[in-house]
Amino acid sequence: MRFLFLLILLAGIGIGIAYPWAMSNFSGHEIGTRRVYEQGRFKPVTVPLAVSDAPVRVLVDLTARAERIVVSQQRTLLTLTAATGGRTMLASTLAFNHSENPRQPSPQSPDKIFRDEAGVIQTVSPGPYTFTVGPGDAEDIPMRAVDLVLRGGAGEADQRAQPVGFSLMAVGLIGMVLAFRFGGGRPQNPNSQPPPPRWGRNGSSS
């Protein structure tokens, strides 16, 4: 039973955590990466998009000298807008407060790279898109650089995946705890015990 509950737990982790993360970060193809903040200054960038790029997932990588970024749910670290032809196609706020496992630019660098998703542009009108990233209301974040990452043809994770995955994780974890607590040991087979010692000349005690 313990092995069964372990499989349920692993399946829940795969469905509820690994699958949405992989869809968010690796589905589709990379259109390009543009630096939007460096040396203390933000700058808008313009990227040409085609109809075949849709849907376009917009990701932001923040490089900072920090082990983790702690921002309350009510505070915004960065803001982002995407516009084309005078129309705003995407407006988002970024907090980065769920980035628990940042990347390192290199093993020698003390900096960390945090990623957050700004959103998805579902329908693309061919032409130049201007992406504007600016500061939010959170302060004292030692930002080194901010990069805009665009992925075309990005897939969407099934909205049912996370609830199902979390439910399986709960069942697997509770089942493993109960199995360890109440499983006990298996009854011993009396035939598996060594025979009692035999005494005397005839092999039995008198």
Assess contact for 78 and 58: CB atoms under 8 A: no
DSSP string spanning 114-180?
Answer: EEEEEEEE-S--SEEEEEEEEE-S-----EEEEEEEEEET-----TTHHHHHHHHHHHHHHHHHHHH
**Span of 18-32, 47-61, 146-160 with lowest mean pLDDT:** 18-32
Domain range for 55 is 28-152
What's the total number of domains in the chain? Answer: 2
DSSP 195: P
Same domain, 33 and 119: yes
Q: Is 197 a member of any domain?
A: no
Per-residue model confidence (pLDDT) at position 21 = 62
- Check pLDDT > 90 for residue 124: yes
Same domain, 18 and 51: no
Average pLDDT in the 59-78 region?
Answer: 77
Give the model confidence (pLDDT) of 132-160 as tens digits. Answer: 999 998 777 789 999 999 998 765 555 67
* CATH code, 139: 2.60.120
Q: Is 204 a member of any domain?
A: no
Same domain, 53 and 10: no
Q: Is 168 a member of any domain?
A: yes
